[in-house]
Amino acid sequence: MTFTDFNFKTPLLQAIQDAGFIKPSPVQKEAIPLILEGYDVIAQAQTGTGKTAAFGLPILNLMTGNDGVEALVIVPTRELAMQVSDELYRFGKNCGFKTATVYGGTSYDKQIDRIRQAHIIVATPGRLQDLLKTNRIKLAPKFVVLDEADEMLDMGFLDEIKNIFTFLPKTRQTLMFSATMPSQIRRLAEEILQTPKTVSITKSESTNRAITQHYYVVQEHERDDALIRLIDYKNPTKCIIFCRMKKEVDRLASLLASQGFKVGALHGDMEQKQREITIRSFKQGNVDIFVATDVAARGLDVNDVSHVFNYHMPFDSESYVHRIGRTGRGGKTGEAITLVSPNELRTIKMIEKDVGTKMVTQAIPTRQEVQSSKESELIARIIDTKITPEGINLVKTLQHEIDIVAIAHMLASSIVSTQEIKGKDTIGFGLKEIDALLQRVNKARKDNQQGRRRPQQNRSRQNRDRSPKNSFHKSSNSKTQKS
């Protein structure tokens, strides 16, 4: 199946093609036809499975562009608001549709001016409720989307959401997208949706199959060296490195910058304007490496992210899916790399089971292996380099004083010296060592399972001993022995 099967308008199909989308993801395949038919929809799918396009493309196809604001998308965070707005604009610009992004911390007047010109509004609940309650804006959208509904619940926005819907027309098409469906979200769906159709993407489909997943086992103190070695070896075009804490982001960004990498950082303590500048720099290619906390996993959509690195394990399986979903987007392949300590191997196995995925363990390349890889890349680059007049003139100038072979040796040495691989020769655990660690983890798990079964068996024996039949036999035997 391809996007042409949905019979979208020609300008929209062109935008999809320009974005590099070819085959729809599972959630897109199931949700788009239902939305095009006019149904309210509840869709349960993880972030990174193409949810924005799943609701955005059919809505854009159904919009006329003649009725002011036709679509309202409500999202939990400012970052996600910007990402969704950018993606909807990218898809809708050929159709002439304009988007407005509405969130706190910016000028009311500017936002209201943009709303007046917009066909689509992407908003966070707090600022949107404020604008509606104070009568600064009035909205009558035909399409309303709640994106990341469970996140809004976790962030305490449930009352704001309910209040916002009191300002919206009863006749509308409402779509709810959420990674999980807790009871409060289900009750909200019953209140705001009319006879909805349900789309549910299973765990096995929740992680993008275009993403290769690897993990490397290291000692705690080796994480920095391991990360730099892997970046040198993998040579990512664009990558995101996820950390657990803000101070970890700042420290790691400084370390990588000192090694000559073009690095940006993102976490919750940064001013909104600085966050926007950093995200824009990453999107435009001024920054190759993005170091971030999980705040960036929620909705960050950047083209051509070739690799995601988990500097530390995420706290839960859902966060893992959110993180790695930043790569392998739009039909492209990606690689997710996780650094783990020996004590975290059990967590790796838990995530594999919970998400329904398989992570392959690998050994971190030695310094010599990386050096050889770099030299092969260098040779290929030299062979493909076009000879320029400036290069010819430089060699002619040098030939007056230096032999041509010596010139070649000197130029090659100059280039190679900039690619020297630093650090220890060997980092982390080898495959045999990792296998031994995994066997230990599996044995401990089996021992725990057997340990849990034993008390149940003992209780069963005790219950049998307490049964009337056994009591009778015991008392009979005891009497016989006494006599």
Q: Are 334 and 307 in contact (CB under 8 A)?
A: yes
Superfamily in which the 208-367 domain is placed by CATH: P-loop containing nucleotide triphosphate hydrolases (3.40.50.300)
The answer to whether 3-205 and 208-367 have equal CATH topology is: yes
Q: Are 168 and 72 in contact (CB under 8 A)?
A: yes
Q: In sequence order, what E strands does 316-458 have?
A: 334-340, 360-361
Q: How confident is the model over 69-116, as pLDDT tens digits? A: 999 999 988 878 888 998 899 899 899 999 999 998 888 999 999 999
Q: How confident is the model over 397-409, as pLDDT tens digits? A: 888 888 888 888 8
Q: Confidence band (pLDDT; 50, 70, 90) for 222?
A: very high
Q: Rounded to an integer, what distance in angstroms lies between the CA atom of residue 480 and that of residue 270? A: 85
Please check the confidence at residue 377 and state whether its pLDDT lies above 90. no
Q: What are phi and psi of 120, to 5 degrees?
A: -130, 135
Closest CA to 12 of 32, 40, 37: 32
CATH class of the 3-205 domain in this structure: alpha beta
Task: For residue 73, count other CB atoms closer than 10 A to its CB.
Answer: 27
Domain parsing of the chain, residue ranges: 3-205, 208-367
Q: Confidence band (pLDDT; 50, 70, 90) for 30?
A: very high
Q: What are phi and psi of 196, to 5 degrees?
A: -75, 155
> What is the structure's pLDDT at 473?
41
Give ∠ CA 57-59-60 in degrees, rounded to 5: 65
Q: Which residue has the higher pLDDT, 135 or 419?
A: 135
